[in-house]
Amino acid sequence: MRVLVTEDDENLLIAVELSLRGSGFAVDVASDLPDADEALSVNAYDCVVLDRMLPAGDSLGYVSGRRRDGWDVPVLLLTARDAVADRVEGLAWADDYLVKPFAMAELVLRVRSLCRRGDAGPAPVLRYLDLELDTGRHEARRGGVLLTLTGKEFAVLRTLLSAAGQPVRRRELTDAAWDEQVAPTSNVLEVLIAQLRHKLGPPPVIHTVRGVGYVLRG
């Protein structure tokens, strides 16, 4: 699950990023709306965490404008404004509203819930190097050759492809394939990766990132 966090308080931004990464999310960060808008234009996210008041203005206006254009990525607003009127206004366009100061454990739970609710998945067809996944048809190809993958293998490969060549943590891969029912110490992911590497054939494209997880790389 990939999340964009936008917050102009550098210390809070770092704390949120570390908490989410420690919980298995792939996290991109931005300190203001222009940077967030650029990230959103090139990446697919399962959830966006936005500080409401940013240097460029009230992010709720940005969200409302994007919503009118059909944007449906789940949004969690962070704010110090806790009046009932502020909450009502925020929830008119955002999916959730968390008042500062907040517990990081609560933020992680809310983000995870929004990611599951939103179904803001990647594009129907994902490509990287000579790999291609048609998520609508549930078909995978390498070099144009159709591959026979299990549902879990497809889910892991889709998660790796969605990261566009960036390392993906073990926890995120197990969440994608087993819906968090696999203990982090289990070796089932390693077994699945070995099977997937065999089916993809040479040259190797799935590489181990020690202490992190796996990455697609030519």
Residue whose entry in the numeric block shows the structure tokens 């809070």: 12
Give the pLDDT band of residue 178 (cuts 50, 70, 90): confident
Question: How far is residue 143's CA from residue 31's CA, in Å, rounded to a whole number?
Answer: 40
Residue 210's domain is classified under what CATH number? 1.10.10.10
Q: State whether 65 and 139 are in the same domain.
A: no
Question: How far is residue 195's CA from residue 150's CA, in Å, rounded to a whole number?
Answer: 10
Provide the token pair at 120.
Answer: 């803001």
Which among 118, 134, 155 is the end of a domain? Answer: 118
* Res 183: pLDDT: 56
pLDDT digits (tens, 9 = 90+) for 94-118: 889 899 988 999 999 999 988 887 5
Which among 118, 133, 151 is the end of a domain? Answer: 118
Query: How many structural domains are present in the chain?
Result: 2
pLDDT digits (tens, 9 = 90+) for 191-211: 999 999 999 999 999 999 998
Percentage of residues in the chain having pLDDT higher than 90? 41
Q: State whether 97 and 197 are in the same domain.
A: no
